[in-house]
Structure 1
Amino acid sequence: MGIGLRARWTALHGVPRAFMAIRARRGDPFARLIANHGQGEDPYPVMEQLRARGPLGRSPFVWVSIDHGVCREILRDRRFGVTAPTDMELPWPLGAVLARTDPKVANPVEPPAMVVMNPPDHTRYRQLVAQSFTPRAIEALETRVDEVTAELIDRLDAIARPDLIADYAAQLPVAMIAEILGLPAGAHAQLLEWGRCGAPLLDIGIGWKSYRQAIDGLRGMDGFLGEHFDRMRADKAGDNPFSRLSGDATLTDRELTANAALLVGAGFETTVNLIGNGIALLLRHPQQLALLRDDPGLWPGAVEEILRFESPVQMTARTPNCDVEIAGQHVRAGETVVLLLGGANRDPRVFTDPAAFDITRANAREHLAFASGVHACVGAALARIEGATALRALFQAYPELDLTETPRRRGLVNLFGYTRLPARLRSRRAAPAQ
C-alpha cells in the first residue's frame, strides 16, 4: 500500500502543490496563500489583494471569493453543494489513481463524512449526529464544560511554565468530544495526537510526510473507534446518541466511524484554535481584556469577535450542480468556488474598521466562521460555550498571565491557530464567591 499511498498523495496533493508553487512565483495571490502557508506568512494582506480583484474572481481551475455577501449567498444556495477532493473533476490519470488507491479508512474529509456529503445523505447523517447537540444535550454538556474547566485551572497550578495550547486549550474540547462519543478519559491523549496528525488533510498541497502521518493516524483512529463501537454494541451500555447509533444499525460501520472521526477533527481542532487565538489576541490587546474584567457580561460578544477576527477555519469550497450567474460571473456546473471565510469576516462593507479587534462590535456575530446554510457547524453552540468558559476562567484565575515566547502559527492554511503558547501564570486569584 506504500506505493499506492504515495500515488494517491501525488494525485491529491503533490500535483496541486507543484502547480501552486509555480503560480505563486508568478504572483498569483491565491496560489501564494496556499503555497506559503508553512512559512508563517500573515494571510490577510494576501487576501486583500484578492478582494481588490472583485467579489468573485478567477484563479486557475477555481473561482475564489473573499466577499462576505457572495460567500454567505453561496453557502445558503441549494444549487451549490460540497465536493470531496476525491470527487473533483480531475484529469483522467489523476482520477484513475484516486479510484484505485482508496486506503479504506474513516477519513473526516472524504465520504461518508457528512462534511463532504450533500442531501439527502448529508441530511440523514446530520440529523443523527445532531442528537448530540440538542438544547437538552448542550445544557448537560455546559455543566461538564464548567466542571472540566475548573479541573484544568487547578492542574495549571502545578505546572511552572505551562503551554496553554497543550495544557489547557486542547484539553477542554477533547474532553467534551470524548464524552459525546462515550470514550474514557484515558483516550484523550490519543485523540489529541490523531487530531494533530489529521489536521493537515483540510489543506491543499500538503507534503508527503504530513500526508503519510495523517493516514497512519487515521488508520489508528479507525481501528480504535471501530473497537469502541463494537464494545458499545455488545455491552448495550451508555445513553448518548453514539451508543444508540452503534447498536441500531442505522449507519454502517464506516459511516459511523467516519462521522465520529469528523467530530474529533471539526469538534475539537477548531475549538482549540478558538481558545488559543483568544488567549493571544487578548494579551495583545490589554485594553480589550480590561473591558472584560470590568464587565464579564461581554464575554459572549468577545468570543464572536475572536471568531470573526481570526477564524479557526479559514476557507471552504462549494460546487454548483447547474450553471449559475453570481456576482456578475457565469459559473458552470461542476466548477469549484473557494470561499475564503477568514477574509469574508474582514469585509469592510459589513464590518467597520475590520482590521481592528473590538470585543464590543455590535455585529460581530454576522461572521461566517461556522459557515452557514445546511452545512453550518452542528456544534457551534457548544464551541461558543467552551470558548467563553475557558477564556473567562483563565483570565479570572491568572490576571497577571503573560506569554514567555512569541506565539508561532501552526503552518496550516485552513485551520488557523497556534502550535504552542508557553506562558508564565504568576499568582492565582481566588475564585469569586458563588
Structure 2
Amino acid sequence: MSPRYWARWVVEQGGARYALRLQARRDPFARLITTQAALRDPYPSIEEIRQRGRLLPKSYWTVTADYEFTRAILRDSRFGTFGPDGMDMPKWLRNRLKTVQTPPNPVEPPSMLMVDPPEHTRLRKSVSAAFTPRAIGRLRDRIESVTAELLDALPPGGSADLIEGFAQQVPIAIIAEMLGFPQEKRDEFLAWGDAGSPLLDIGISWRTWRDAYLAMGVMDGYLDEHLARLRREPGEDILSSLVTAGDLDDRELKATASLLMGAGFETTVNLIGNGVVQLLSHPEQLAKLKEDPELWGQAVDEILRFDPPVTMTARLALCDTEVGEHAVPAGTVVVMSLSGANRDPAKFEEPNSFDITRSNAREHLTFSSGIHTCLGASLARMEGAYALRSLFDNFPDLALDGEPHRRPLYTLHGYAHMPVRLGRRATVAAQ
C-alpha cells in the first residue's frame, strides 16, 4: 500500500488510537475500548460512564450509556451517520484522502450503514424489496436444514469448538444462500469477515487496518466476477434480485453485499455464542426453556439485551441541537454504548439480571432504532432461536470444557473459541 493509505489510517484510526491510550487511566470510555479488562467485562467502565452523567462530553466525542438519550438520537433526523467525511479536517487533507480509493465495504459510503437520506432511503428501499416472503421462506428452510446437518456432524459424547463447528457455520451458510455464493467457499468468506470486522472498532492498529482493506480488495475482485455471473445466470437469491432490478450500480451492489455479509454473519455468530454461555451460566433459565419451549423467542431478545453482539454505535450532530437538557453543537460526534443502554436501570428493572421472562426485553437497542434499524433483525432472531433450541434439544448435557476465548474486538462482542463437552445425543422430535 502507498503512503497515502497510511495517511488515511492516521486520520481515521491512528490519532484516536494514540489519544485513547493516553487517556485510558482516567477516562472510562477510553478504558472501555482499549483495555483487556473491558474486553472481558465492559460493564464496570460502562457504569462509571453512567455515573458521570447522561451525556458525557470528551475531547473527541460525547458519550452516553443512557437508554432514553440513545434511542432519541438514533431516531432523530438532526443526527447523521459518522465516517471520515464527517471529521473536522483541513480542506487539503480531505481532498487528498479522497484520492485513496478503498474497496466497497460495510463502514464507508455507499454502504447503507454509512449514508443518510435521501441516499439511504433509496438504497434501503431497493434492498427491502428483495426480502420477499418467498426469499425469507427459503432462508427459513435453509436454517433448519443446515442446523440439522451441523448437529449431525458433532460427535456425541466428545468435545468440540462450538464457535468453529457450529455458531460460525449456521450464519455463513445463510449468507451464502442470500447472496448466491457457492457453499464450498465458506472458508474464504469466514477469512474475509475475520479480517474486515475490526474496521468497526475505534483506534485499530495500522497492520490491522491494512490487512482489513487487503482482504476487502480480494473480496471486491470476487464480487466483480460474482455479479457478472448473476447477470448471466440469476438465481432465486436476494443478491440476484438486486442485480436484475438494476436500481443499484456495481459499487452500491458490492457495498450492500459486504454489509449483508458482515451484519448477517457477525451479529448472528455472536448471538449464538453469547447465548450458549449465558444459558449455561444460568441453568435455572435454561430449565425454564426446557419446560416451556415457547419462551425461546423471548430468550433470544434477553440474550440480545444482556450480552449484545454489537456494543456501540455513533452519530454526528448535523446542526446545533439538544438532547434532553444538554446542548449538542453541530459537528459533535456522539458515541452511544448499546450495551449500557440495554442495562439502563431507568428502563430495565434489575438490568444486570439475566431473565428470559423479562416483559420488555424486546425493547433493547441492539438492532439500533430509527431509519438504520437492522434490516435483518427478524432473520437474526429466527436463526438464533432455531440454532440455540436445536443445540440444547440435541445435546441436553452440553457443558463448557474450559474458558471460552473472546474475540479481540470491542464493537463486535463475541467469542473466537468455545470448547465444550457435548454429552449424550437426545432423540429429538420434529420442531
Q: TM-score higher than 0.5 here?
A: yes
- Checking the alignment, whether the CA contact within 8 Å between 2:230 and 2:243 is kept in structure 1 is yes
Q: Match of 1:115? A: 113
| Partner AA of 1:106 in structure 2 | P
| 1:16 aligns to 2:13 (yes or no) | no
Paired residues of 2:367 and 2:374 also in contact (CA < 8 A): yes
The alpha-carbon deviation at position 248 of structure 1 amounts to 4.3
In 1, the alpha carbon distance for the partners of 2:395 and 2:216 equals 37
State how far apart, in whole Å, the 2-side matches of 1:366 and 1:181 are. Answer: 30
Deviates more, 1:126-135 or 1:13-22: 126-135
2:100 matched residue in structure 1: 101
Pair 1:325–1:433, CA change in 2 (3 A): closer
Output the CA distance in 2 between the equivalents of 1:159 and 1:293. 21
Alpha-carbon distance in 2 for matches of 1:367, 1:150: 30
Contact 2:135 2:236 in 1 (8 A): no
1:363 is aligned with what amino acid?
N
Residues 40-119 of structure 1: matches in 2 within 5 Å? 40-90=39-89, 95=94, 98-103=97-102, 105-119=103-117
Q: Check 1:39–1:298 CA distance in 2 against 1; reply closer, same or farther (3 A cut).
A: closer
1:67-109: CA deviation from partner (whole Å, max 9, x where unpaired) = 1001011111122111223432235676455333233x01210
Q: What does 1:319-338 align with in structure 2 at a 5 Å threshold? A: 319-338=316-335
* Structure 2 contact 32–38 (Cα < 8 Å) conserved: no
Give me the whole-angstrom Cα distance separating, in 2, the residues matched to 1:383 and 1:188: 19
Shift in Å, 1:251: 1.3
Q: Displacement of 1:118 after TM fit?
A: 0.4
Contact map agreement 1:37 1:412 (CA 8 A) in 2: no
Any conservation in 2 of the 1:396–1:429 contact (CA below 8 Å)?
yes
Letter in 2 for 1:51: R
Query: What's the CA shift for 1:158?
Result: 7.5
1:291 counterpart letter in structure 2: K
Code of the aligned partner of 1:6: W
- Which 5+ residue runs of structure 2 have no aligned equivalent? none
Q: How far has the Cα of 1:339 moved from its partner?
A: 1.0
What is the RMSD of the two structures over their aligned residues, measured on CA atoms? 1.8
Residues 196/309 of structure 1: CA separation in 2 closer, same or farther (3 Å cut): same
Corresponding position of 1:4 = 4
2:214 equivalent to 1:229: no
The question of 1:156 aligning with 2:131 is answered no
2:347 equivalent in structure 1: 350
Q: Is the 8 A contact 2:272 2:388 kept in 1?
A: yes
User: Are residues 86 and 158 of structure 1, via their aligned partners in 2, closer, same or farther at CA, if it must alter by over 3 Å?
Assistant: farther
Partner Cα distance (2:177, 2:237) in 1: 9
Aligned to 2:295: 298
- 1:133/1:378 contact within 8 Å kept: no
1:4 and 1:323 map into 2 onto residues whose CA distance is: 33
Matching residue of 1:173: 171
2:131 counterpart (130, 133, 136): 133
Report how far residue 433 of structure 1 moved: 5.3
Deviations 1:321-349 (A, max 9, x none): 22111121111122111111111000001
Counterpart in the other structure of 2:197: 199
| 1:111 alignment partner AA | P
Greater CA drift, 36-45 or 223-232 = 36-45
Cα distance, 1:3 vs structure 2? 2.5
Question: Aligned pair 1:382/2:379, yes or no?
Answer: yes
Partner SS for 2:123 = helix
Q: Which moved more, 1:40-49 or 1:238-247?
A: 238-247
Q: Give the letter aligned to residue 40 of structure 1.
A: L
Unpaired segments ≥5 residues, structure 1: none
Taking the TM superposition and a 5 Å limit, the aligned residue runs for 1:21-32 are 21-25=21-25, 27-32=26-31
Separation (CA, whole Å) in 1 of partners of 2:302 and 2:430: 29
User: Alignment partner of 2:344: what SS?
Assistant: coil
